[in-house]
A and B are shown apart, each in its own frame.
Chain A
């Protein structure tokens, strides 16, 4: 029996836990680590079941579909990358399971080939955020700030679903006397908020009328690759024009590390890159531990797009949803890694493993540095100094600054074809981004159930143009025209997380 401490990669909180290996080294089990300050030993369902995530089929080393030795795959990758023009190349890494060291290595690998198309999934927001406000999307806040807040605004965020380990902090704040206000399309089913500002999907802009509510508050929201940039500018505007603080949680564990380390590198947005692939401008893609087809909405479409590439290199520990990759290189699962990540609170956490495999793959294609060298560079660039890594310290602090943003305007929704009377709202969660369908139902209102003529055990069909999905349903206290989904459906959102859809009873 071996007990190793590790970090959950489910979201940017980075909960501490133990992975217990049996004597045969087979069965891994999660054990709660009461000592970790992020979560005090508590875990959400993703964390509790983390060991099952590691039981997935591992990646093989292959070139053109043929299994080869790792060295050969690396060599092939190096050769074929060299044959590409810099502007035809793109590097994508959604920073869920990658360490700071790997990010440094990844960035220098891209630079080595002169590539400026590097994406960590959040580049589309750079245009929205003024330079002085960049700290808001880069860094989060320590949870002690949530515990001690006097007024908390949940901005289209259901902590129980999106970030379960945040929920207890809000409950704690409530116990300490905080007032919790939610701004959302639907009332929280657990009634966490003292007050609800119900937003009609077509009239999001009217939140402006409630500006005074945001005074002296801690606004908690979420930033994902799918967040509507207009919604982000809205949050920034509310933050800038009131005396409040804005705390954005992210779905990927090492988002903060990726933001800070990738600051000075040439970057391009994920969706722009995909568009470039579609147009044939980008011909080669290097995916670092990123199962794009698994993580993105409308994954099949993504897989179709990437099939147009001349070269797709995947470095991953597990098999991904692509079967078209030209070169696949097998790296180690997250818990085995040696290295650090920065969680949303700004704590630098050690993963606890000993393997440098993933880093060495990139280094053997690129500069060929040793772990220590890369680690020192990561530390330097994160501004950590020489002090020892301590999970109890908030090493990456943020300073609140004043900034100004123009009053945002929310453009009216496109689409809304015949029959598309319902709004589909995705509630993202740790499962969502790891390509696991945690739930097999959507939530609808009792009125909609009646109107659609649904009975218990029926299924609904949700459609948007050509895309449609058949799925079970649950009754929740929602506005009539809202369909809420924690499951990833085959429907790509048009604007942010809200999409007009047609909903009917599945025959």
Chain B
């Protein structure tokens, strides 16, 4: 649902793709450890970061996400042999693409988070939220006149 938000109540919307085995568990751990995670995050669980098609990221941005996080297992720890290498390769393309399109590089993140790194996850979300608050809403997000 698209909703028009007044400027003052604008809160960043951050979309995170988390892999089932590591980063989703990491996000879970952040909750279990009762760490402060800003409510700006929306998590989509995928079986593996290798499943994250660059088109998902683009669609996320078009749907109004102010930033997209691509997260997965550490390199070498992938449950599917080498799929996160593919993630990394795709990210290379995405980075150049987003930059050329005229979006700030801060709108795209790649990080490797293991199941035990709840603190890292929380810290990352805080960090991204802060950065996005500084640069403002994504220009790709469409607002409708009332």
Contacts and interface: CB of A to CB of B under 8 A. Distances in A.
Direct contact of A and B (CB under 8 A): yes
Interface of A: 446-447, 455-456, 475, 477
B145 interface: yes
B134 interface: no
Contact of B144 (A455, A456, A475): A475
Nearest to B143: A446
B64 to A, nearest CB: 12
Q: Is the interface of B mostly helix, strand, loop or mixed?
A: loop
A456 B1 contact: yes
A455 to B, nearest CB: 7
Interface in B113-146: 144-146
Interface string B1-42: 110000000000000000000000000000000000000000
A455 B2 CA distance: 10
Interface of B: 1-2, 144-146
5 contacts: A446-B2, A446-B144, A475-B2, A477-B144, A477-B145
A447 B1 contact: no
Contacts of B2: 446, 475
Given A446-B144, A456-B1, A477-B145, 7 more contacts: A446-B2, A446-B145, A447-B146, A455-B1, A475-B2, A475-B144, A477-B144
Contacts of B145: 446, 477
A456 B144 CA distance: 15
A477 B144 CA distance: 7
Nearest to B4: A446
- Which of A446, A447, A455, A475 has the largest number of chain B CB atoms within 10 A? A446
Nearest to A447: B146
B127 to A, nearest CB: 31
Contacts of A477: 144-145
Contacts of B1: 455-456
A158 B2 CA distance: 26
Nearest to A476: B144
Nearest to A455: B1
Q: Which 3 A-B pairs have the closest CB atoms?
A: A446-B144, A455-B1, A477-B145
- Which of B2, B144, B145, B146 has the largest number of chain A CB atoms within 10 A? B144
A456 B146 CA distance: 18
B143 to A, nearest CB: 10
A446 B142 CA distance: 12
Contacts of A455: 1
A191 to B, nearest CB: 14
A118 to B, nearest CB: 49
Nearest to A454: B1
Contacts of A475: 2, 144
Contacts of B144: 446, 475, 477
Contacts of A456: 1
A447 B2 CA distance: 11
A54 to B, nearest CB: 33
Contacts of B146: 447
Nearest to B1: A455
Nearest to A456: B1
